[in-house]
Structures are given as C-alpha cells and as structure tokens.
Amino acid sequence: MSAFDLTGKTALVTGANTGLGQAIAIALAGAGADIVAAGRSSAAETGKAVTDAGRAFHEVTADFGEPDAPAKAMDDAVSAAGQVDILVNNAGIIRRNDALEFTESDWDDVMNVNIRSVFFLCQAFARHVTGRGATGKIINIASMLSYQGGIRVASYTSSKSGVMGLTRLLANEWAGKGINVNAIAPGYFATNNTEALRADKTRNAEILGRIPAGRWGDPADLGGAAVFLSASASDYVHGTTLPVDGGWLSR
C-alpha cells in the first residue's frame, strides 16, 4: 500500500462546501478517503465530486459559532459514517475593522468559530479515536496571519495565531496516543474570500509582487499537503504548521 493511500479512512472536513475546504475534501477522496462534510451551507457540489471519485459522501449540518456544535458534529459524523479517522478543521470566518473601532461582537464571533470550535472539535475527535483504540490525524487550517500581524483583522489574527499554538499543544499531549496534530497555513488563494483583493488592481499587483511563485494559489494546490498530513507518510510529523504559500513567507 502507498504511504499516501487513504483507502478505508473517513475524513470529517468542516467548511467543505466551497473554496479551500472543498478542494481538501476532493483531494482526500482522490486518495481513497470517504468524506463527511460539516457546515452551515449545502456541500452538494463537493458531494458530487467525491462520489464521482468513487468514495462515500455524508453531510451534517453544523453552525460552529454555537457552543454545542463541535460535539454534535462529531456525533453526527460518526452516526453517518461509522467512524472518523481524519479531522480537517477548515471552517472559519473573518471580520474587518480598525482596532480602535473593533466591536466585542466581531471579536467573539470570530473567536468562537476559528479557535473555540477548533479546540472542542479536536477534543471530540480525540475522544472518539482513543475510545476505540485507534489512531487519527488532525489538520487545522492556520493562516499567513499565524506568522504576521496583518491590519484591521484583530480577532482573525488572534484566532489564527491561536490555531498554531493549539496545534503544538495538542501534538505535545496526543502524539503518544497515536494522534498526529498538524496545521496548514495557506497563502493567498483565489477564492470567494479574496475576490475583492484580486479585483483591486493596485492591491493585486502588490500581493503578486511578493509571491515568488508569481501567482495566486489555486485551492487544488492544498491537496497534496492535506493528503500527506492525513496519510501514513506523515506518521512521525507532529505539531508542525506547513505553509502552502507560493513562497510568500520566504520573501
């Protein structure tokens, strides 16, 4: 069996309806994994791509801004698929405003989805995996702002910095339990969230001028990293955050 073969595994991917989460789910399916998509919006398009690849697809509804959503999503995923072997914490939101004007609501909304729900979904997953005496893989989605400060995104930067730290903490605690916890930090990708930036000719040129690869990332560019961190090929990789950024951080 290939060290990158995910046959017989089931992955729970949050926010898999579009963009990066969709691309990750499709890549994991292409490597042999069955997929459970969890989120607020329909993931029917993702489901078609997964089933076209010959893999099983399940969908559970979850609003990760709600306190009980992580535990319920894991319970629903296990009920639908029988077991979960891989967790991809991709769901996230962002709010923009000057720090002097940033509201408590915009702080709490982002932190609840981007870091609180990530921790408690990791916890629910780890309880499921250890409870059945198995091993598992967790991939958290960090950000370039896990490394940099950014501007006008106070809660987003804080939450994504927290994702990197949490990834290390959980790796320290769970590596000995057979659970690999790692993260991917995407660079600038062509998704709905960056449409305004790409439409701004000046900002688009500034961004491209810093990316050594000379282009925006395509969501499919995350697939290889996600498959690697989900597969046995990464069994001795713990607590790392892997930038997939076209060289952005090297510039």
CATH architecture for the domain at 10-245 = 3-Layer(aba) Sandwich (3.40)
The pLDDT assigned to 91 comes to: 97
Mean pLDDT by 10 residues, the chain (251 residues): 95 97 98 98 97 98 97 98 98 96 98 98 98 98 96 96 98 98 97 88 95 97 98 98 98 92
The pLDDT assigned to 140 comes to: 98
Half-sphere CA count of 163, side-chain side, radius 13 A: 36
Domain residue ranges in the chain: 10-245
Radius of gyration of the chain (CA): 17
Catalytically annotated residues: 156
Q: How far, in Å, CA of 126 to CA of 123, rounded? A: 5
Numbers of helices and strands, H then E, in the chain: 9, 7
Q: Collapsing DSSP states into helix, strand and coil, what is residue 78?
A: helix
The pLDDT assigned to 201 comes to: 95
The pLDDT assigned to 113 comes to: 98
Residue 10: its H or E element: strand 10-14
The pLDDT assigned to 197 comes to: 85
The pLDDT assigned to 13 comes to: 98
Q: Are 137 and 179 in contact (CB under 8 A)?
A: yes
Q: How far, in Å, CA of 185 to CA of 165, rounded? A: 13
